[in-house]
A and B are shown apart, each in its own frame.
Chain A
Amino acid sequence: MQVPSQWEVSFLAKSHLRLDDGMGPVLEVKWQQVRGVFSHKNHLKKLARHSRSVSGVNFQQTSLPEEWRQALRHFETQCFEWQGKKINGKGVILYCPASQQASLLQFYRQRGVDGSQVQLGVLESLQDQCEQDMIRWSLFGLNALIPKSFDLARYRFEPGHYQLEFKKPPECIDLERWAPADLLLKTSDLRHWFKHRCKQLTWCKLTAIREQNYHGRPALYGESGESNSLARRFWARLSRKSPNVWFRIWHLSSQNQILGVAARSSKTLDTSVLEKICAHYDMA
């Protein structure tokens, strides 16, 4: 899905996304894998019931606008509208029988503002399934490719530190970003900062940390030993720590940031995938 560049993520969860344009919410998307038969009618009823609980909101089912029909031709659709005191909404419930994925999209709009062209552009770019092995994650300047099979488990966007955690049990991949690097590394080098000052990725600090040059950038690299012996796995289970750990942290001086990719698993990690993630991980 492609949205105007001024729209920013204001809420993100495993199957829920909300975008703001600085004035308020503009788009909300929810999605879910459906098991069994999907009923638009039931979902509309749920939405109507929910809207009735909010005073002053008038919810109604509508027919799909003609201009949206072409953009949403691959889906079974059901359109709806609601009017609040200050803001209106127009949305659609989508179901793709091929992927058995149901989605709900709703555009928020201020009274008297026409955003039909922008809405159409968003709907035309909508895809509920990805043909490639890797999915691009792009938000708050962060750009990364993550294997399709991994789900977003946790995220943090705090001033100075971003973290996205993806999971495909028993594997877990962390994307990290720290800034501003010139302040963080003012009194120490990358290794010292990571070992003694950085409060995140503590589970990586147990591995042997090596300094390396990653595409001309100062970097730290660490990997747990190759041996995956029974005793080691047993100890890892007892101590509740993943025996296989891999990480790389590098200083992106052109952007004044420190980036990091870390992975842990009870099984052997596929380092080629992790190298690919590192190669495509960047900040705008």
Chain B
Amino acid sequence: MAVSQLIGARVQRREDPRLITGHGRYIEDRLPAGVLHMAVVRSPHPHARIVSIDTSQAAGAPGVLAVLTAKDFHGQLAGAMPVTPSFVPEKKYVPERFPIASEEVCFQGEPVAVVIADDRYLAADAAEQVVVEYDPLPAVVDIEAAMAPGSPLAHVGGPDNIGWDMTFDGGDIDAAFARAEVTVTERIWQQRLAPTPMEPRGVLADYSPYDERLTIWLSSQNPHFIRLFISGAMGMPESRVRVVAEDVGGGFGSKISPYPEDYLVPAAARLLGRPVRWIETRTESVLNAYHGRGQLFTAEAAALRDGTLLGLRLTQVLDLGAYHGTFGAFQACACLMAGGVYRWQAVQGRTIGVLTNKVPTDPYRGAGRPEGTHLCERMVDRVAQEIGMDPAELRRRNFAREFPFTNNFGLVYDSGNYDGTLDRAMELVDYQGWRQRQAAGRQQGRLIGIGCSTWVEICGFGPSEATAGATGGIALVESAHIRFLPSGSVAAFVGTHAQGQGHDTTFSQIVANTLGIPMEKVELRHGDTAEGPAFGYGTYGSRSLAVGGMALHKAAMVVRDKAQKLAGHLLEVSPQDLVFEQGTFSVKGDPSAHKTIEEVALAAYGGKLPEGMEQGLEAVSYFDPPNWVWPFGAHICVVEVDRETGAVQVHKYVAVDDCGNVINPMIVEGQVHGGIAQGMAQALYEEVAYDQESGLLLTGTLTDYLVPTMNEIPELTLDRTVTPSPTNPLGVKGIGEAGTIASSAAVINAIADALSPLGIHHVDMPASPDRLWKMIQEAES
């Protein structure tokens, strides 16, 4: 394949040969000689006072080297686990979180002791022998009850359960509602979800007391931030801590923020002077890996009878769990994105973070944007239903059409063509045909529904100006380092880190294409803080290509510019007189005079360089995007609800997305497939459920937490339009979260449409057969 054709090419993934043959390098695969195994003793109560911990029996159990509790770790770890401002700059109450509880446990699963033993079986045995006496306290479970005066407190001694309460004003909301000819209101529940990457987490740490160096291997989306946090807590210079994430078996947001074990394992390794590892079980994962969603929305929309949308007023009550997630407030962006792709006169969003006795919530695939989209798309359908207009038509009447488009909160959508994706989706799904089949079906009592979701997403975090404050100081940009070795191969380092997104492939496509060399000559490295520039910013928020990919592109352009200068010197012409094509610098008008970039690379390590030029051919670049990027699209779902059982059958699912220019269409399609499946899973199957009285987790294994199998996910029909982003040189956006952002609304809109003849206007998630059957029974009685 010609190098210049690499961008946009369906290149097979270079990471796959090792993964499909069983030679991946996941965290559990690393088992150094002499490693000790840690098991965590966790609170069985959602809320309790710790009366006493007796470790004596466990400490004497076979193979046990140490049993450690909070008092042991207080000498090793300083400060509290981090909470960033994210979208909520001022918080009312942020309970301090230490990685292991000492006096009070505030969620089921919170660590109270750890056992370190020769192997995992012995560690698990001994963990059973740690005797902890608890004095149970009332558990805060329901988020609305938690806000009421006199509610039990999630933390003893807290002022109340309100973590934050702030309102985003996007225009004069009262003026918008004053013009209303029709208003609709709805309560929309976003159930708690467990991100459930197939690989649970794991941490391995090795501390060398002689040179005071620490290496941590873990399954993470965000190794540089983990180094920053852990080195700080351990009182070590950041430069002496190396964090390595090799192959990561999925993340979906749950491997961004630091976890208790990320601190406890390295601290134990330093304390014992031996390598220590902890591998999470699935039960621990469902219980303790940060959840997502868990939000109750109340919303009111105002419109004119001709379908003109006027105002949207919403309140997001967000279940924080027992502590603020490090990036948990990011989910408040649901308020800022609740206007979607439409022109509103005003939007107002209030967000309230509520502390409960559950594991914290934090970003999960989409993080705030699926919730905002779901709310917006539901409310638009409710308005359409109220005034008797086809929901696709109502969308068209209100689409933003002039770009850049500034939304009610001042966010600037960089480019879009919302009619284009909706038109194509309606054509592919045969929208009019399904409306006819729906009408005919209704005559026979069949419940067929069609649901649209015309979504837009803010992603590609940076820019620095907006994000430095949001993280508490570190601007979300991205770094890259490109280095030509003398023999012409290229080492490329980037600060993002894939968990299945195929960066080894797509990023190599960009580097090879920019430098005009074959992909095989590019070695892409990421996930190891000992390599590349000083800081990397991780992979989340569909940012890797639009920020990290652009950092690589920028560094490659700096390398190419230097190579051009040196080529001009070697060919004794001005660099301006050279053209660069397919990896070769040629003299304009005299193509026989040329140097390949590989020849130039070798020369760069030699003598006789131009005056002032240093040896080497490499560059470090940081890319600070001037704006976010704004992918969008239209998803249409056709369902049929079985009146007798409440079961939902998806007849057809069409997704037409636009993520700007595409580096590798095969990977984009895969991301969309997986994203849709997760949104569909939320719509139909998954829910982290707690007992409302006791606060105990009811869905603690994959037997109860219903991750769909192949049988639950239908064939998906995909297409694309291409509206390049003006925000970056390659015109790219992001696609990792798009499917999840779009799909829950498409499915639920379809189900609500199917049930509308029964007078049912809204369906909460998961739309399980049980829930729907009850709703149908109630409506028909």
- A and B bind: no
Which residues of B does A touch, CB under 8 Å? Answer: none
